[in-house]
Amino acid sequence: MLAAAIIVRIFSNCFANVYQKKLTNKNINPVFVNAITYLILTLLSLFLIIFSDFTGLTLSFWGWAAIVGLLGATGNGFLIKALEKGEISVLGPINAYKSIVGMIFGIFLLKEIPNIFGFSGMFLIIFGSYFILDTLQERFSFSLLKNKQIQYRFLALFFSAVEAVFIKKLILLSNILDTFIVWCFFGALFSLLMFKFSKLSIRKEFVNIKSLNILFFINIVFCIAIMQYSTNYVFLKMNVSYALALFQLSAIVSVFLGYKIFSEKNIAKKLFGSVIMVIGAVLIILFN
């Protein structure tokens, strides 16, 4: 069951990114995509409340839930912004750095101290990223930090990695269903606030999506719902840093989808780098 949840999570996440990129390619603002996705997820999650019981949950649970919502909405917003013009075959593998962030925060928040395997895994992730980032115009250099898509992707993985730690706290205080529902609700709250402060025209954004097939949003919402619920299940069953490392198997899927759907280039080099990064992520799993 755990292996199935991991596989479902990997593929649902990759396909969600594909649909998000397709939307932004059609000039739909990433902030709006983020807000409308969380809003639809929240409306659908209302049907799940009958299976849940929020009575007895502590004040600290709701405090952590608000933090998760803020981190999730911010991280997903930066991710969609990165996908707007960035290549999936590059941005997907970069997510392997999330396991490093997760491991660092795990040291301080979860008292998980890595040994030689953990540090070796970090080295391989950085080494593998060289082959992927070297396919960009800026190559593997400090000038990469001037690339907006790379900046957005690193911000996205940072926020989502910290979010993962707090999601585990919510699960320990309740269960995976309650955690999923509050993740949707607080994510919608903060993403809608971000949309409001962005001063975008909601009328203009709705005009832009009128010409789109409703299946676009249905696919995004379905993929993200499945992705998040399966993520919660995996977090329940295993250590967060291990799970984040396992999820990096999606790097290979992202490279393949980038090639097949968006005709992205230098796939062989990106695939080679992705495999190295995945090996590094696996080593992080073994650091215990």
**Domain boundaries, given as residue ranges, for the chain:** 2-285
Given the structure tokens 């250590």, which residue do they identify? 239
Q: Where are the alpha helices (DSSP H) in the chain?
A: 2-25, 30-45, 59-85, 88-94, 97-109, 116-133, 148-173, 176-197, 202-210, 215-237, 240-246, 250-262, 267-285
Mean pLDDT calculated for residue range 260-272: 80
Of the two residues 51 and 134, the one the predictor is more confident about is: 51
The percentage of residues in the chain with a pLDDT greater than 70, rounded to a whole number, is 85
Rounded to 10 degrees, what is the CA torsion of 169, 181, 209, 89?
30
Q: What is the pLDDT of residue 139?
A: 57
Rounded to 10 degrees, what is the CA torsion of 69, 72, 74, 76?
-140
At residue 17's C-alpha, the angle toward residues 154 and 106, to 5°, is: 40
55: buried, middle or exposed (CB in 10 Å: 19+, 13-18, 0-12)? exposed
Q: What is the pLDDT of residue 80?
A: 86
pLDDT band with cut points at 50, 70 and 90 for residue 112: low
How far is residue 183's CA from residue 68's CA, in Å, rounded to a whole number?
A: 7
Q: What is the pLDDT of residue 125?
A: 75
Q: What is the pLDDT of residue 110?
A: 61
Write the CB contacts of 256 (distance below 8 Å, at least 6 apart in sequence).
267, 271
Q: What is the pLDDT of residue 283?
A: 78
Q: What is the pLDDT of residue 17?
A: 86
Mean pLDDT calculated for residue range 105-111: 68
How far is residue 163's CA from residue 231's CA, in Å, rounded to a whole number?
A: 12
Burial 180-192 (b: 16+ CB within 10 A, else e): bbbbbbbbbbbbb
Q: What is the pLDDT of residue 211?
A: 64
